[in-house]
Every structure is written in C-alpha cells, then in structure tokens.
Amino acid sequence: MPVSRFHVSVVLGLLCACGAASTHAAVKRSVIPIGRAQGRGDRSPLEGQQAIVQGVVTGQFIEGLGGFFLQDGGDGDAGTSDALFVIPARTLKTRLRAGDAVRVQGRVFEDAGDGKAGTLTTLQADRIDKVALPAPLPTVLTGPPERWEIFEGMRVVIDAPLSLNGSDTRYAETSASFGGRLWTPSEIAVPGSDRLREVETFNARRRLLLDDASNRRDPPAFSYLPAGVPRSGSSASGAQGIVDQRHGSYRLQLTAPLELKPATRPAAPKVAGKLRVAVFNMENLFNGDGRGGGFPNLRGARTPAQLKAQTDKLVATLKALNADVAALMELENDGYGPQSSLAQFVDALNADGGDWRFIDARQGPGSDEIRVGLVYRAGRVMPVGQPAVLEGGPFGARSRVPLAQAFRRGKGGPVFVVVANHFKSKGCSEATGADADQRDGQGCWNALRVDSARRLDAWLKTDPTGQRSDKTLVVGDYNAYAMEDPVRTLRERGWKDAFAVAKVAQPYSYLYGGMLGRLDHALLSPALARRLRGAAEWHSNADEPESEGYAGSDGAGPWRSSDHDPMLLGFDL
C-alpha cells in the first residue's frame, strides 16, 4: 500500500524516540520497491508524498546533473521502472560512488526541468544510509522499446547498432537511432497526412539521444567519443548507460565510451554529360568591407582568418565538382564591384589560372542581406542576352529575388536557361495567419513559399530571358522538403525533379534535428529532363560535424564548407 504522510510521520517519530535497532526495523518495514514510486504511468502515483526506497547507485552524477540514479532488484512488474533519480539535500554529507548500496528517504516529485515535454520521476532526499544489497544486472535491449518510460532511470546495455545522426557540441549530445538513419517526415510523406504522422511516430520510437551525464556548456570534448565527433552516418555498438528523461527527450547518459564504426568521406561525384551544372548554398559568404576590414560580418565569417578558411573550402568544393555553371545561394548582397563577396570569390576560383566569370545583374538582385548568384566557365559556356530577375510580392522582403540567365555551350550549341532561387526559411519570426506554423510538418512561412513557387512558375512561362529556350533548370534552396507544398506545386505544374528522373535512391542535402531531407532541389523543364544524363549530391557537408567548418578546427579540404550539400547535374544538349 502507498506510503502516506501519516506513515512517514510515524516512522520519523520512531526514529526520534527509539534505539538504533528499533529505528532500523521501522525504516526497513517502510521501504517500498522503486517500481511502486515510479508507477505504470508517466507520472508517479506518489507524487508529492514521502517515500523510503533502497537500491544500488548505478550512476553518480552529482557534479554533472545534481544527483544520482538508484536502482533496485525490481518489483516483478514489467510495466514499471525499477530506478529513479535522487537529488540529495545540500546538508547531506554522504559520499557516494557507483556501486554503493543505500537506503534513501525523501519526497517524490516530477522534475519538469526546463519545461519541455516529459518529466523525470525524482526523489528529493533528506536522508541517505548505506546498506548491503546485491547490484542489479543491466537490462539488455536489442531494439527500441515500445515505451522508454518503463526503463526511466534504469541501467541498460544496447545490443544493437545505433546510427549516429549528428552531434550538438554545446552540450555533448548526439542524436542516435535504431534501425538506420531518420528521415524528415515531409521529405517522404505529404504534410498533414496520416502517413506523415506514421513517420513521426516511427521516428520518435527509434530516436534516442546520447549524452555525457553533464549539463556543462561547451565541453572541450565528448567523454564517450574518445576519437572526436564522427561524421553522421557512422554507427556505434555496445552503448551502455542510464535511461534519462530531461530537456524534452529520452536520452542515454553514457557510462562508457562508444565502440565506433566511422562513416567514410565520399569522393566528389562524377556525372555523365558534356554540360555540368552545380547548385550550392554557400552558408553566408560575407567578406567584411572587401578590403580586409569590416569584421565581424552580419553573417558568416567573424574574422579575416575565418573568411580565408571559408573561401578556401568553398573553392575546393566547386573545383572538385568541375562544373561549367554554378548557381549559388547565400552570397552577401554587396554589389558587383571588385570588393564584393561574389567578385572576390571568383578571383579566388581563378587564383591558379581559372576562367570563371560571374553574371552581373547590375544591382541586387533584391534588397535582402543575402542574394543568389550565377558563375560560369568562360572557356566552356557563354551567356546569351541579359539576366532577368523577378521582384515584388514575396520576392525581396522574404524570399530572395530569383536570377535567370541564358547560356550556350559552344558557338553553335542550343540555348539553355539557369534560374537560381532561394525561398524564405522556416523560422517563425513575424509569421502570422496562414504563414504561422500550421502543425502539418511544414513549419512557418509555408503559404509565402507556395506563393513564391506559383509566381516563379508564372514568370518563367513568360520567357523572361527572351531566348525562347525550352531547356530550363530551376534550382536552389527552396527551404521546403520534397513532399511539401511549394515543391509539389512546381512539380504539378510540369517541372521535373532531376533526382527522380535520374532514379537516384534516397537523395538528401541537409541534416536537421538528426533527420535527413532535401531543402535543395533541381527542377527541369520537360525538354531538358529528356537530356539529363546524371544527378548527384556530394555529401561533403551535411554529414560533417560543425567542428570541421571554417570556424572550428579549420580542417583542410572541402569538408563542411557549408551546412548544405552541393548538387551536380549532367546534360547532353
């Protein structure tokens, strides 16, 4: 039967009035299994009440988390956890370490932490006594349980490989999953559909955060990753630790280093076709005032040294892709003079004798801090006519202004058009009405992105470059996954997904929240789709840890030159 306040007061009275032997007997009679304090639900049935439990300390994290995990031999009920978290009162001087057996008296409460989803059943201890008890064996998991709640606070060993899906260096957390990597639901299912909810549920069941049993901010290293943070897509085996629920998610507070199988870095892709077009979000290429000053920038590099490292990585990326034309996103919108970010980037591309040029749209395009741009190899292709831009409506204040330019490969080759785009992001600042998050998986500003897609399609059908070419690439960062409304709108209006045409299995260009998907798309007119010979993404960025970027360790080569992966398309015109 539950321990009431009356029973606790009687016990405390006995503790005060009786000798040591009778005190021990009274306390022993009042000890309850931890499973009874946990209960079968998400919250303890004894919440707010006093309780006495005993068990073995499986993890002493007083310095890191402010308490320790206590586990007993079980209550015979598979539906209840046999462990909980204990926060000792500051007045208690008992020294503990993992493996100690103790009896604990205190108040049961549900710790909501920072107010995010879920609570951790916790005992606020006002008395701790050492006892003699056998250590409980860890629970072995060969797959994700139906409910993590029944293992809350318990020591487990995961006898199954875990995919590692990105690390947050701020708190030494790594997103992991059972049964392979996770996909953003709206990449593979229509927003708002039952199928989307199924994917969300499937992801939630398979996902588990790996943690270092500390709330320390920006630790110098991950205690459970002795070789450093690996690429996403790596796998881990032998994970062992304690199931915890805090900061809105279940996690495993690891008690031993992981056994890693690192993912290998892929070589730069090669595609068939005599014409190659690259598409690349460059993650805020800002160059200060263009003369070595003006740092920190509004975005991007904070110092001239960071700018050099960033530029070197971006140059290495584009050179390895060996493209004839490249559509670029997230360039600083600072004109086209010799001190502009675009002009200086092209200079860097040509430092060893290259023949890159940029399209000069005279101004902008647009008035946003960032813009799109087009660069090309003058020895391979030539621009035809003047560039065209689409301003007004959603373009300028939210979505970046599209830039279109016609090109020809060789003197007598057919004309083709490349259109660079960058739609409004999913951040919710100032979003209201239809642009607010509709809770269908598409985030904020979806209505504006759909409007952008419709206006873009209508504009392109007016032949804005005036070249009467039916061979058009509409490429860029749409800030929408493959099954979301903006991209489906364009496909429904006749534009062909290059990766579907090329039959590329499971393409992705972005990793967010431990889930893969495509924010970057290459859409083709039907005439150009028939001439597509290959499509590839180079996973040189999304899977790389942030520490490999220009602001981190500054590792050599193209790795983590951006947070988006570049794309490469091949055509025979």
What is the model's pLDDT at position 115? Answer: 72
Q: What pLDDT band is residue 19 in, cutting at 50, 70 and 90?
A: very low
Q: Check pLDDT > 50 for residue 106.
A: yes
Cis amide prior to 296 (ω within 30 degrees): yes
Helix (H) / strand (E) containing 187: helix 185-188
Which of 237, 212, 269 is CA-nearest to residue 161? 237
What is the model's pLDDT at position 29? Answer: 55
CATH homologous superfamily for the domain 5-130? Nucleic acid-binding proteins (2.40.50.140)
Q: In this structure, which topology does domain 275-571 adopt according to CATH?
A: Deoxyribonuclease I; Chain A (3.60.10)
pLDDT digit string (tens) for 197-211?
Answer: 999 999 999 999 999
- Enter the pTM of the model: 0.90
Residue 378 has φ and ψ, to the nearest 5°, of -65, -25
Q: What pLDDT band is residue 26 in, cutting at 50, 70 and 90?
A: very low
Identify the DSSP state of 413. Answer: P
**Is there a shared CATH topology between the 5-130 domain and the 139-261 domain?**
yes
> Where do the domains of the chain lie?
5-130, 139-261, 275-571
What is the model's pLDDT at position 552? Answer: 78
Percent of the chain at pLDDT > 90 equals 89
Which of 571, 570, 573 is CA-nearest to residue 269? 570
Q: In this structure, which topology does domain 139-261 adopt according to CATH?
A: OB fold (Dihydrolipoamide Acetyltransferase, E2P) (2.40.50)
What is the model's pLDDT at position 368? Answer: 95
Phi-psi label, residue 443: left if phi above 0, alpha if psi -120 to 50, beta otherwise: left
pLDDT digit string (tens) for 398-412?
Answer: 999 999 999 999 888
Q: Tell me the one-letter amino acid at 222.
A: F
**Strand-pair partners of 52:** 31, 105
- What average pLDDT does the segment 74-98 reach? 93
What is the model's pLDDT at position 554? Answer: 64
Q: Check pLDDT > 60 for residue 279.
A: yes
Helices (DSSP H) in 367-482: which residue ranges?
446-460
Strands (E), 137-246: 139-141, 155-158, 162-168, 173-178, 182-183, 207-211, 235-237, 239-246
Show Cβ contacts of residue 378 under 8 Å, excluding neighbours closer than 6 positions: 355, 356, 357
Q: What is the mean pLDDT of the chain?
A: 93
What is the model's pLDDT at position 164? Answer: 97
- What average pLDDT does the segment 140-167 reach? 96
Q: Check pLDDT > 70 for residue 255.
A: yes
Q: Check pLDDT > 50 for residue 89.
A: yes
- What average pLDDT does the segment 201-224 reach? 94
